[in-house]
A and B are shown apart, each in its own frame.
Chain A
Amino acid sequence: MTSTDARTVEAGNGSRPPNPLLKNLSAKIASVPMALTALVIFLGCTGWTVVHSFTSSKLLPKLDFVGLDQYDRLWSTRRWLVSIENLAIYGICSLIFTLVIGFTLAALLDRKVRFESAFRTIYLYPFALSFIVTGLVWQWLLNPELGIQNVVRSLGWESFSFDPLYNPDIVIFGILIAGLWQGTGLIMVIMLAGLRGIDEDIWKAARVDGIPVWKTYVLVIIPMMRPVFVTALVLITSGIVKIYDLVVAQTSGGPGIASEVPAKYVYDRMFSSQNLGQGFAASTMMLLMVAIILIPWAYLEFGGKKRG
């Protein structure tokens, strides 16, 4: 099989102009799963959902168009607004903290630390755990009657209070603590790899010029690590929008609706309220939010220069 293909191509190259459709035939056949995924799932399913978000679909999807009704209702629903606010807070904080902590830890570990691999192992292991596990553990640790608050109180500090999961105003930070615990290790490892990729000579040059260490990081190293930061950024943002399991395991959206997130709104409306149209409208908004962030970034990243 393979040799026949190769010969066809070789022959094509040599004597007569090849049929453009047959060129790279194996590669094209091999790419069918990718093409199907790209077209049917990523484009097709997304389009289907967007179209159906303009319908009054309840339990079953049907093409009964109602214009922007679902969106009107969506944006007048408190729970959706709270979800968006939570996502914004969680997203911004998680982005900043993950990058800062990830980079700082990597920079610290890069200073020829003893037991480096032990530290690295400890920082990264939470990444191997699921959000369900993460959420449950931190639910217990932050439970006032069982976890940290209880322990501190039993040590004698009776008025100590640390119950973020029971306080609607700060519950999203309780989730953030768990999210950072799980995710920063990965970013640290990526950053560390980036730092290791930087030429030793640059450090030597900086030392010779008498530039302080922190300045070297800010002015020289970080700009050099731009691709690494882009990778990290992409990994973090794509995780943020999808946040769901963590909230389900840790708070189920409570107290009240204080830790609801858009992904959970979509799931609940689609499957629990039996109101598909509303769920589709909400998921379309999620898509739109991603697009608003993604398009300028993609433009900056790929628009200016064409590279292979």
Chain B
Amino acid sequence: MKPITGILAATALASGTAAFATDLEVTHWWTSGGEAAAVAEFAKAFDATGNQWVDGAIAGSGNTARPIIVSRILGGDPMGATQLNHGRQAEELIEAGLMMDLTEIAEAEGWKDIVNPSTLLDGCTVDGKIYCAPVNIHSWQWMWLSNKAFEDAGVPVPTNWTEFVEAAPALEAAGKIPLAMGQQPWQQGGAFNVILTAVGGIELIDKIQGQKDMDAAMGPEFAEVWTAFAKARDMAAKSTVQDWNQATNLVITGQAGGQIMGDWAQGEFQVAEQTAGEDYTCLPGLGLEAILDTGGDAFYFPVNDDPEITAAQKELAALLLKPEVQVAFNSKKGSMPVRGDVDLGTVNACMKKGLDLLAAGNIMPSREQVLTQDTINEINDLLTEFWADPSYSPEDAQKAYADIISRAE
């Protein structure tokens, strides 16, 4: 701790003499089309305050970006602000005193009253203090269907997972890939969790991931989830793309029937100028269990000894939750705003479904909030191996999953 603060002071001195206008470097991993457009809204709003947003986009998934972000904070070269998923990712950084306490701003801006659902703020709170500014709600619990693909195959657009599985042969016969899936581990990991929630139910997921209940992890209900996931594997056998947005593109162009992916996929449909309900259909909770997990992105502000930077950090923190910024950002990003009192204007059918679920309180914590990144990565490794190897049996995989859960913290 001591040497870190010392170095911080040294860097602050060095950069303080050089800085004329307050440049604030913001790191994030929003690099796809829709994401980049959304982040530009933040930059625009921040620049309008007279400060300068220095964009530190890191390409790749959060798994690529997070290490870079964390090692820079630890390395005594902190950025002005950074995106992280709220939850357990920043726990230790906060405990080490490396993150700025935002409680003051949160109180001044009345975050407690406006942030909805309030669990979002809990994810930012350690020992009663608030350390991050949630900017959006993202939920994994979605499936995106291409209306064109089903039309071409001559079957009605499914309304839930079961119907989707039944429609798969028709899609295949029409030369389509039933299920689009990218090859990166986090995508398979996320999709599995969606299937676990939809097929296994909210109680099962809480028992396994929340309470680490070994009986549930070895039980028959969970075995059903694995069977469903194995089915998904078969349906996606021909999907060889890498990135999630390439997989989404398969759905957009009607080459694939559907994709299980979080609501950020919506942004891609928007960039492609597709209309919800007409060109594509969305099923929250796979149409089986209408619930949203309330993960999302939040901004953290590493401690900085330069008062100018600190001032700019605070300005940005407050700005991120302003109603107009929330609207501008979230409509481009395809995510839901963190405050219930703003109107996104004309929301499309899918967003409407999401907002309704949110208003009805059908929410659950995200995987990032329940499990450590270490455990999540281990699970993702298992799932991606299972996914890539058709001879890996669901039974063996279930055992391996239970194993990971048994030693999870």
A and B touch in the complex (CB under 8 A): yes
Q: Which residues of B contact A164 (CB under 8 A)?
A: none
Chain B proximity of A88: nearest CB distance (Å):
18
In the bound complex, do residue B71 and residue A254 qualify as a contact, i.e. CB atoms below 8 Å apart? no
Q: Which residues of A contact B382 (CB under 8 A)?
A: 78
B86 within 8 A of A: no
Whole-angstrom CA separation of A166 from B236 in the bound complex? 13
Residue of A258, A267, A272 touching B388 (CB-CB under 8 A): A258
In the bound complex, do residue A275 and residue B374 qualify as a contact, i.e. CB atoms below 8 Å apart? yes
B70 within 8 A of A: yes
Residue of B96, B242, B381 touching A60 (CB-CB under 8 A): B96
Q: What is the number of contacts between chain A and chain B, taking CB atoms within 8 Å?
A: 79
In the bound complex, do residue B70 and residue A252 qualify as a contact, i.e. CB atoms below 8 Å apart? no
Whole-angstrom CA separation of A215 from B110 in the bound complex? 87
Contact pattern, A 79-95, Cβ under 8 Å of B = 1, otherwise 0? 10010000000000000
Residue of A145, A268, A274 touching B89 (CB-CB under 8 A): A274
Contact pattern, A 254-266, Cβ under 8 Å of B = 1, otherwise 0? 1111100000000
In the bound complex, do residue A58 and residue B92 qualify as a contact, i.e. CB atoms below 8 Å apart? yes
Nearest residue (CB) in A for B67 is A271
Taking residues whose C-beta sits less than 8 angstroms from the other chain, chain B's interface range is: 20 to 34
Q: Which residues of A contact B63 (CB under 8 A)?
A: 268, 272
Chain A proximity of B247: nearest CB distance (Å):
14
Q: Which residues of B contact A58 (CB under 8 A)?
A: 92, 374
In the bound complex, do residue B377 and residue A255 qualify as a contact, i.e. CB atoms below 8 Å apart? no
Contact pattern, A 197-219, Cβ under 8 Å of B = 1, otherwise 0? 00000000000000000000000
Q: Which residues of A contact B407 (CB under 8 A)?
A: 73
Q: Which residues of A contact B270 (CB under 8 A)?
A: none
Q: Which residues of B contact A145 (CB under 8 A)?
A: 240
A257 with B381: in contact, given A60-B96, A274-B70 (CB under 8 Å)? yes
B66 within 8 A of A: yes
In the bound complex, do residue B71 and residue A271 qualify as a contact, i.e. CB atoms below 8 Å apart? yes
Taking residues whose C-beta sits less than 8 angstroms from the other chain, chain A's interface range is: 20 to 34
Nearest residue (CB) in B for A260 is B381
In the bound complex, do residue B70 and residue A256 qualify as a contact, i.e. CB atoms below 8 Å apart? no
Chain A proximity of B91: nearest CB distance (Å):
8
Q: Which residues of A contact B301 (CB under 8 A)?
A: none
Chain B proximity of A251: nearest CB distance (Å):
9
A147 within 8 A of B: no
In the bound complex, do residue B389 and residue A256 qualify as a contact, i.e. CB atoms below 8 Å apart? yes
In the bound complex, do residue A59 and residue B92 qualify as a contact, i.e. CB atoms below 8 Å apart? yes
In the bound complex, do residue A256 and residue B384 qualify as a contact, i.e. CB atoms below 8 Å apart? yes
Residue of A144, A166, A257 touching B384 (CB-CB under 8 A): A257
Contact pattern, A 54-91, Cβ under 8 Å of B = 1, otherwise 0? 00001110000000000001000111001000000000
Nearest residue (CB) in A for B375 is A273
Whole-angstrom CA separation of A73 from B377 in the bound complex? 14
Contact pattern, B 383-398, Cβ under 8 Å of A = 1, otherwise 0? 0111111000000000
B400 within 8 A of A: yes
Chain A proximity of B175: nearest CB distance (Å):
15
Nearest residue (CB) in B for A163 is B240
Chain B proximity of A105: nearest CB distance (Å):
34
Whole-angstrom CA separation of A267 from B67 in the bound complex? 9
Q: Which residues of B contact A73 (CB under 8 A)?
A: 407
Max chain B C-beta neighbours (<10 A), residue from A58, A252, A272: A272
Whole-angstrom CA separation of A49 from B183 in the bound complex? 33
Max chain A C-beta neighbours (<10 A), residue from B70, B184, B242, B388: B388
Q: Which residues of A contact B183 (CB under 8 A)?
A: 252, 254-255
A44 within 8 A of B: no
Whole-angstrom CA separation of A255 from B238 in the bound complex? 13
Specify the main secondary structure of chain B where it touches its partner: helix
In the bound complex, do residue B388 and residue A255 qualify as a contact, i.e. CB atoms below 8 Å apart? yes
Whole-angstrom CA separation of A252 from B386 in the bound complex? 16
B93 within 8 A of A: yes
Specify the main secondary structure of chain A where it touches its partner: loop
In the bound complex, do residue A272 and residue B377 qualify as a contact, i.e. CB atoms below 8 Å apart? yes
Q: Which residues of B contact A274 (CB under 8 A)?
A: 70, 89, 92, 372-374
Q: Which residues of A contact B66 (CB under 8 A)?
A: 271-272
Whole-angstrom CA separation of A270 from B71 in the bound complex? 10
Nearest residue (CB) in A for B382 is A78
Residue of B89, B96, B240 touching A144 (CB-CB under 8 A): B240
A168 within 8 A of B: yes
In the bound complex, do residue A256 and residue B377 qualify as a contact, i.e. CB atoms below 8 Å apart? no
Nearest residue (CB) in B for A268 is B377
Chain A proximity of B398: nearest CB distance (Å):
14
Chain B proximity of A141: nearest CB distance (Å):
15
Whole-angstrom CA separation of A269 from B240 in the bound complex? 26
Whole-angstrom CA separation of A151 from B1 in the bound complex? 59
Whole-angstrom CA separation of A59 from B97 in the bound complex? 13
Whole-angstrom CA separation of A275 from B404 in the bound complex? 15
Whole-angstrom CA separation of A73 from B184 in the bound complex? 24
Nearest residue (CB) in B for A79 is B381
Could you list 7 examples of A-B contacts with CB < 8 Å? A59-B91, A73-B407, A254-B184, A257-B384, A270-B67, A272-B64, A274-B89
B interface, CB within 8 angstroms of A: 63-64, 66-68, 70-71, 74, 89, 91-93, 96, 183-185, 240, 242, 372-374, 377-378, 381-382, 384-389, 400, 407
A interface, CB within 8 angstroms of B: 58-60, 73, 77-79, 82, 144-145, 166, 168, 252, 254-258, 267-275, 278
Given contacts A58-B374, A256-B388, A272-B63, 15 further A-B contacts (CB under 8 A): A59-B74, A59-B92, A60-B74, A78-B382, A144-B240, A168-B388, A252-B242, A254-B242, A254-B388, A257-B185, A257-B388, A258-B385, A258-B389, A268-B63, A273-B373
6 shortest A-B CB distances, which residue pairs? A256-B388, A271-B67, A59-B92, A255-B388, A273-B374, A256-B385
